[in-house]
Amino acid sequence: MCPNLSWGKHNCQHSEDVAIKCFKKDVRIQLIGGSSEISGRIEITRKGVKGTVCDDHFDNNDAKVICRMMGYSSGKVIPNIFGQGQGVIWLDDLNCTGSEVELEICSNLSWGTHNCGHSEDVAIKCIKKVNATTGMTPTFSTDQNATRIQLVDGPSEISGRIEITRERTKGSVCDDEFDDNDAKVICRMMGFR
Ligand SMILES: [Ca+2]
Ligand SMILES: [Ca+2]
Ligand SMILES: [Ca+2]
């Protein structure tokens, strides 16, 4: 969706291939105890510490934001039949409008501040993204036009030379005019920041 994007057009040599470093998000969200990954008790791992979310004021708008952060299109609150969590209660009285792309943007967010017990741990069910034209859930393996991005030849998965696989052809990205904003978009597409 970036302007002037033109796949395969360039005046570059491979000596100009660009490398980037992404940052791992310090918040990771999983749904625990459900029959599939799209439903369950919310488990948030923040700075390496696992915790839960309290049901006070938790509604579908809050669920939507959490599902979207996990890469799904939407979501809703469901009864917590998945059991209580343990450890930290990360969030209480969530006050998202439903349009935020990250929890951090929701108003009055305060990590670790709560007046809850684990019997109030909340559970949600997310809705997978649906392809508007086919009504199918997109998968990388069957869609030849899917764009897959990896960072290669680096010390870890979060840094290295950008390798984009598109229409089953591997390629690189030229460093001409490539800046931190371009890197951010690519990192975000890979689930990093
Ligand atoms: Ca409650
Ligand atoms: Ca709420
Ligand atoms: Ca509360």
**pLDDT tens-digit series, residues 48-75:** 999 999 999 999 999 999 999 998 999 9
Distance 58 CA to ligand 2 centre (A): 4
Per-residue model confidence (pLDDT) at position 166:
86
Write down all domains in the chain, each with its CATH number in brackets. Answer: 14-23+140-189 (no CATH), 27-127 (3.10.250.10)
In sequence order, what E strands does the chain have? 19-21, 27-33, 39-46, 49-53, 74-78, 88-91, 123-127, 147-156, 159-166, 169-171
Give me the mean pLDDT over the 173-189 stretch.
Answer: 90
CA dihedral 56, 110, 70, 145 (to 10 degrees): 140
d(CA 114, CA 90): 8
Per-residue model confidence (pLDDT) at position 130:
65
Q: Lowest mean pLDDT: which of 2-6, 37-41, 107-111?
A: 2-6
Per-residue model confidence (pLDDT) at position 193:
78
Distance 190 CA to ligand 2 centre (A): 29
Count the Cβ atoms, other than its own, within 10 Å of residue 79.
8
145 pLDDT above the threshold of 60? no
148 pLDDT above the threshold of 70? yes
Distance 17 CA to ligand 1 centre (A): 53
119 pLDDT above the threshold of 50? yes
* Residue 135 pLDDT grade (very low, low, confident, very high; cuts 50, 70, 90): low
Label residue 34 exposed, middle or buried (CB < 10 Å: 0-12, 13-18, 19+). Answer: middle
What's the chain's average pLDDT? 88
Distance 54 CA to ligand 3 centre (A): 7
Distance 189 CA to ligand 3 centre (A): 34
Per-residue model confidence (pLDDT) at position 129:
73
Distance 26 CA to ligand 1 centre (A): 26
* Residue 147 pLDDT grade (very low, low, confident, very high; cuts 50, 70, 90): confident
35 pLDDT above the threshold of 60? yes
140 pLDDT above the threshold of 50? no
Distance 91 CA to ligand 1 centre (A): 12
Distance 127 CA to ligand 1 centre (A): 24
d(CA 174, CA 13): 8
Distance 23 CA to ligand 2 centre (A): 29
Distance 75 CA to ligand 1 centre (A): 20
Q: Among all ligands shown, which has an atom nearest to the Cα of 57?
A: 2
